[in-house]
Amino acid sequence: MGGVRRATWRQFIPFLGLNVLVSTLTVLLVLAIWGRGPKLPTLPPTPTFDVSARLASAIPTATATLPPSPTPVTYTVRQGDTLGGIAQELDISMESLMAANGLANPDALAVGQVLVIPELEESATAVPESEGADASPTAEGSPQVVIRGAYERGDLQTEFVYLENLGGVASMLGWTLDDGEGNVFSFPSFTLYNGGGVNVYTRAGTNSVINLYWGFDQPLWTPGKLITLRDAQGGSHSQFQVPSG
C-alpha cells in the first residue's frame, strides 16, 4: 500500500498570512467607516463647587438694628398764643413746657417760635423735688393747688411764683399768697382747672389769664423765706420754702 503524506506546518504559513491580512483589512475598513459617521456631542465638564462655601453664603449676616430715633413733638407759636394757653391746650403743665424748652420767663414767646412738647412721662418729673411742695395728685373732685417754686429770684422784673392745680376745679377768688412777713396777695376771680397753672409776679403789671401781678417795687423771695398759699377759708393749702442759691 502506498503511504499517505502528512502535511507539515510550513505548508500552512501562506494560509495564516492570508488570514492575518484579511483580518487587518477588515479592521481598517470598519474604523474608516466609523470615523465618517456623526460624532457624538462632547459633554461639558461637570461643575464643581465648595459645599461649605455655598452653605455659608446662604446664611444671612446678622447686622445690628438701631431703634428709630423718636421724632420730637413740636408746636409753632402763633399770634396771640400764651405759654399757659398752649400748656392747657396740650394738657401738660406749664412748668414742664418751660423746662423742656429752657424758658425762664413764660412771657418770652415770639410768633413763629418752635416749642418742643415734652412727653407725659417727662412732664411728671420735670419739676425737681426741691422746687415743688405737696406735689402728689389728689382725687379729681377736690382742688389741689400747689406752689411749684419761686423763679428768677432777686430780679424784680422777672421774679415770680408758679402755682399749679393737680386736682379738681379750683375757684381762686378769696385765696391768698403771703411771704410770712405780713405781705399778702389776694387772688382775683378766676378758675384754675386740673393741670392748669398761673404765675404770680412780684412787680406791678396788668393781670392776664396766666399772669398775675403783686405790685411790689422790690424783690420778695429771699433764701429761707416761707411762701404760704391759703384757700378762701384761710386754711393753709400749700407751702414752699425758698431755697438758698
Are 97 and 187 contained in the same domain? no
**Pair 110, 208 in one domain:** no
Q: Are residues 110 and 211 in the same domain?
A: no
**Is the same domain home to 169 and 116?**
no
**Is 173 domain-assigned?**
yes
Task: Say yes or no: 110 and 140 in one domain.
Answer: no
Q: Do residues 116 and 138 both lie within one domain?
A: no
**Beta-strand relationship, 184-186 and 176-178:** antiparallel
Domain assignment present for residue 8? The answer is no
Looking at the fold, whether 218 and 163 belong to one and the same domain comes out as: yes
> 220 and 121, same structural domain?
no
The grid coordinates of residue 219 equal 424783690
The pLDDT, as a whole number, for residue 56 is 59
- What pLDDT is recorded for position 137? 46
The boundaries of the domain holding residue 228 are: 128-245
141 and 100 housed in the same domain: no
Summarised one tens digit per residue, pLDDT across range 175-211 is 999 999 999 999 999 899 888 899 999 999 999 878 9
Are 159 and 213 within 8 A, CB to CB? no
Query: Are residues 205 and 102 part of one domain?
Result: no
Query: Quick one: pLDDT at residue 7?
Result: 57
For residue 111, the model assigns a pLDDT of 84
Which of 80, 102, 126 is at the close of a domain?
126
The secondary structure of residue 157, as a DSSP letter, is: T
Residue 7 lies in a domain: no
The CATH number for 100's domain is 3.10.350.10
Shared-domain flag, residues 132 and 240: yes
Domain CATH code at residue 216: 2.60.40.1260
Number of domains in the chain: 2
* Strand order, beta sheet including 197-201: 145-151, 160-165, 197-201, 211-213
Residues 149 and 241 in one domain: yes
Residue in the block written with cell 377736690: 142
One pLDDT digit (tens) per residue for the chain, 245 residues: 455 556 565 666 777 777 777 777 777 776 777 666 555 556 566 555 565 565 556 555 555 555 554 556 788 888 778 887 888 777 788 878 888 887 878 877 888 888 888 864 343 333 333 344 444 444 457 889 999 999 999 999 999 999 999 988 999 999 999 999 999 999 999 899 888 899 999 999 999 878 999 999 999 999 999 999 999 999 998 999 999 86
Residue 102, judged by CB atoms within 10 A of its CB (0-12, 13-18, 19+), counts as exposed
